[in-house]
């Protein structure tokens, strides 16, 4: 039986909690490890704290906290609990940082306007907070193929079982993240997808071709193909092909922003050039919007990653490819309304990416641009059920998209 090491364990718990309070690294490759350990802690701190307390009781009864080292270990563990409690309090208090940007950009009455669209949809509450909610909304028969590339072109249709087939419900396409090299639709964005489905939406969550097996622009071509499929087929599932919005996080944030800014671009729609791939709104979350600039935290490493695994072409020789893949360089006056969200403590994609993209888009677009910068939030802050920020994200996205729906119906 291994010898208990309470002091070493207490130091590890304290470092983990401190990393959840504020990432311990923000430059270079160490940020990957910092994110991996800090992400669950920063969003599920209450669960961590309860588990640690229960285990401390067990270890205390075993005698792990006897003697000087044991007492020091218990004191350090208590400090870790205090930090975890601080994280939970900050998370619970973050709701205004989702709502205030909407109010500032859309007007003080944005919720009342959004409610007009919601009133046309039946609303239910009381969804159990767990990762098995997909089974409540996605039947096996609703997993579809939207393109010719086998399992890479599969999609889940999220809808309530009682939604009429002629409901003309608003539709959201969810594009998963994963550094353009994973891209699994399950279990990303479950809190948002289940929230919207429960409130009468039809959501489509897709897989797409990923690197290094596939090469850019295969990723965005598949997103475009999914949009074309939705426009042609979503009415069969109760969705409205005339109201299709798009969202995604991380790489999905990049892809959703690029798709929204390149509607009907034939160069990104090989074989389906005439298909309608426009969207009524975009909600990119903690995305990468600049594939060109080498200035700023982590951007040199990022471009090196793109050259080796995603684009597979030298940046200096094929600069135009990287430019065309950058949403910040594809801005247009007729862009649809955007709701950009980013966490201040994002150690994978620095918050400057979201901030700079939103500012640049505001200068060009004639549509509303909402930017929400969430204090203390890590990358992928909307992933976990039970996370206050995941709940607030789902609510804010619904409010924004309902506002878009109501204003389109009015005008």
Domain ranges of the chain: 6-92, 96-410
Q: Which residues of 139-154 are buried (b: 16+ CB within 10 A; e: fewer)?
A: eeebebebbebeebbb
pLDDT of residue 126: 43
Active site residues: 250, 346, 379
- CATH fold for the domain made of 96-410: Rossmann fold (3.40.50)
Q: What are phi and psi of 343, to 5 degrees?
A: -90, 140
Question: What pTM does this model have?
Answer: 0.93
pLDDT of residue 409: 86
Of 229, 224, 232, give the one whose Cα is nearest residue 266.
224
pLDDT of residue 342: 98
Judge whether 95 and 392 are in contact, CB under 8 Å. Answer: yes
pLDDT of residue 131: 45
pLDDT of residue 121: 60
9-64 pLDDT per residue, tens: 999 999 999 999 999 877 766 788 888 888 899 999 999 899 999 999 998 898 88
Residue 196: which H helix or E strand, with range?
A: helix 190-198
pLDDT of residue 380: 95
- Cα(326)–Cα(172) distance, integer angstroms: 22
- Cα(377)–Cα(97) distance, integer angstroms: 11
pLDDT of residue 249: 97
pLDDT of residue 3: 64
Q: What residues in the chain have per-residue pLDDT under 70?
A: 1-4, 28-29, 119-133, 411
């Amino acid at each position: 039986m291994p010898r208990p090491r309470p002091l070493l364990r207490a130091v590890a718990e304290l470092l983990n909690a401190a990393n959840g309070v504020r990432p311990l690294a923000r430059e270079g490759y160490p940020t990957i490890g910092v994110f991996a350990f800090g992400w669950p802690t920063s969003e599920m701190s209450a669960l961590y704290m309860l588990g640690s307390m229960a285990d401390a009781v067990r270890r205390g009864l075993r005698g792990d906290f006897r003697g000087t080292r044991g007492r020091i270990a218990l004191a350090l563990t208590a400090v870790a609990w205090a930090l975890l409690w601080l994280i939970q309090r900050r998370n619970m208090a973050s709701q205004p940082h989702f709502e205030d940007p909407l109010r500032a950009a859309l007007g003080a009455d944005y919720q009342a306007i959004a409610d007009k669209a919601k009133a046309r949809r039946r609303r239910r509450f009381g969804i159990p907070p767990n990762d098995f909610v997909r089974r409540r909304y996605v039947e096996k028969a609703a997993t579809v193929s939207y393109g010719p590339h086998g399992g890479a072109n599969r999609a889940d249709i999220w809808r309530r079982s009682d939604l009429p087939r002629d409901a003309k419900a608003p539709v959201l396409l969810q594009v998963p993240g994963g550094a353009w090299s994973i891209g699994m639709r399950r279990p990303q964005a479950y809190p948002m997808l289940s929230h919207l489905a429960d409130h009468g939406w039809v959501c489509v969550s897709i897989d797409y071709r990923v690197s290094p097996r596939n090469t850019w622009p295969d990723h965005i071509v598949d997103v475009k193909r999914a949009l074309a499929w939705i426009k042609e087929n979503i009415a069969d599932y109760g969705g409205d092909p005339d109201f299709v919005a798009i969202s995604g996080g991380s790489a999905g944030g990049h892809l959703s922003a690029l798709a929204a800014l390149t509607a009907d671009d034939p160069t990104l729609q090989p074989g389906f050039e005439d298909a309608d791939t426009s969207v009524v709104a975009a909600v990119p979350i903690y995305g990468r919007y600049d594939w060109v600039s080498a200035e700023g935290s982590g951007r040199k490493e990022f471009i090196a990653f793109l050259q080796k695994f995603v684009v597979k072409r030298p940046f200096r020789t094929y600069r135009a490819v990287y430019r065309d893949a950058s949403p910040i360089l594809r801005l247009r006056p007729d862009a649809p309304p955007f709701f950009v969200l980013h966490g201040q403590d994002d150690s994978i994609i620095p918050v400057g990416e979201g901030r700079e993209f939103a500012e640049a888009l505001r200068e060009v677009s004639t549509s509303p641009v909402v930017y929400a910068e969430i204090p203390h939030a890590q990358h992928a802050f909307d992933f976990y059920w039970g996370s206050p920020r995941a709940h607030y994200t789902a609510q804010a996205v619904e409010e924004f998209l309902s506002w878009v729906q109501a204003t389109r119906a009015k005008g």
